[in-house]
Structure 1
């Protein structure tokens, strides 16, 4: 399957290469003196067609490899079946969240006071 997709991408790339490089060559044939005035433009468009075709062929080949690999992985997962979510009854008793202990601070000295304490352990001030 990868080979067929790669061939398809190579055909697309070949068509683009023929179009772009063919246009630059046909411009040269129709006006041969134009290459003397601007040879960089002719060479640029010619090699742009070749570069685009190679780029499209390579990217298409890698895209087809990824596509076939992902399709195969999905097919394998469907064949094996999806794992069932564990039931909560089978897991036993779950711990519950406890509320965080609120810290108090002494208004007199500013030290931290343990929860439920009626006076500051540092300075002895009543709360």
Structure 2
């Protein structure tokens, strides 16, 4: 079952590959977490905003991030920059999803772009490839 936000003081032992999904569209977020729980051995944590994602990574070190580009307050590209400034996440794979992908900053931030609507098999293949490099 997918994990939604962590409780304030909850600590998770890193025994399973973890993906943090930052998606404000609840239907898409639930679809992704269900897909990862049923189709992969990965654990997913769904959060609706960049700010909450930054709080989650205080207690969990994800192996991969999937970010929506159009998030409230801080978009996925800004969150990617914030993550890259933290040494712990400098090399952590990031997938940025949007119907309107801004391609210019992808190379410098080492971000993979996936257009919405996306093909689930393509997304799962990309995730597997990034996690098994």
TM-score, normalised relative to structure 2:
0.18
Question: Which has the larger strand fraction?
Answer: 2
